[in-house]
Amino acid sequence: MRRVPLALCLSFAALAAAVPVLVRAGDAPAEPPKPPTTPLPKFQNPLFDAEVGETCFFSVRMPDEKEPNRYYEERVLARRAKHVLVEVVVANAQGKLFSVDGAQSGWRAVSDEDLSFPADSHMQFLKDKEKEEVLVLGDPPSKAVRTVHRFIQYPDDPSKPDGATKIGEIWYSHDVPVTGWAKRTPTMFNPRKEGERVSISWSKRLTPEECAKLAAKWASSDPEKKPDDAGMEEPGMGMDDPSMG
């Protein structure tokens, strides 16, 4: 049998060591996403500095589901001195938009930098339970945002405000636009008691022209409108949101 010279074997070994090994994506854990490092504002309500054109795409998973099957886009269409117009649109998983969800859309009061509920709502934040958290979003994880995890006590039955209560949770984030709800459970603090809402993406921006056109149908419900303002009214039903007017 012909033998390969030792020097040649060593050359082959050195060459092999110099060639990088191809590693598949699943062979090693990816670098975990890191939250932004931009300065955080002093005020509590993320909607307070919302800008016209901002959007946030989010999913809703019902209590009996393992995966979300409802998708929405919320966007800021207009601002006034003390109100912001937020419209929520039904979508699919790919972000295709369908009809406006009137129950979740409408003008919201933002005159107060802090978060509070009206006295007659019988809802309150449990200040002693809230805490700062970094929330990782996506499957696989794709984003990390800074949040304040807040707990809200509300009546189990709105018609019996002095009866049994429930505890809801919202992860408020200044890193997430529009309402800043990085995560919320349940999605509504009322008898519907739906499951979990989670933000997915927010890089999309609407142009001022698009916003003006979409906002026209809300002109007559504008709480700060002038007497000569006109438009077709399509009022929302209001949300159990401390920033709601």
* pLDDT band of 216, cuts 50, 70, 90: very high
What pLDDT sits at residue 5? 54
Is residue 178 in some structural domain? yes
Domain holding 71, by residue range, is 46-221
Percent pLDDT > 90 in the chain is: 64
Which CATH number belongs to the domain containing residue 126 in this structure? 2.40.360
Better pLDDT: 191 or 70: 70
150 falls within a domain: yes
In this structure, is residue 23 part of a structural domain? no
Please provide the distance, in angstroms rounded to a whole number, between the alpha carbons at the two ends of the chain.
Answer: 91
- Assess contact for 200 and 59: CB atoms under 8 A: yes
Domain assignment of residue 20, yes or no: no
**Which tokens hold the place of 28?**
């090693």
Residue 176 domain-assigned (yes or no): yes
* 180 φ/ψ sector (left φ>0, alpha ψ -120 to 50, else beta): left
Q: pTM above the 0.75 mark?
A: yes
Query: Is 11 within the bounds of a domain?
Result: no
- Asked if pLDDT for residue 1 goes beyond 90, the answer is no
Q: What's the pLDDT tens digit per position in 119-169?
A: 888 999 999 999 999 999 998 899 999 999 999 999 998 889 899 999 999
40 lies in some domain: no
Q: Kindly report the backbone phi and psi dihedral angles of residue 120, in degrees, each rounded to the nearest multiple of 5, phi listed first.
A: -85, 5
pLDDT band at 174 (very low <50, low <70, confident <90, very high): very high
55 domain residue, yes or no: yes
DSSP per-residue string spanning 190-234: STT---EEEEEE---B--HHHHHHHHGGGGGG-TT--TT------
* Burial classification of residue 236, based on how many CB atoms lie within 10 Å of its CB (0-12 exposed, 13-18 middle, 19 or more buried): buried
User: Across residues 185-213, what is the average pLDDT?
Assistant: 92
Q: Say yes or no to pLDDT of 19 above 60.
A: no
Q: Structural domain tally of the chain?
A: 1
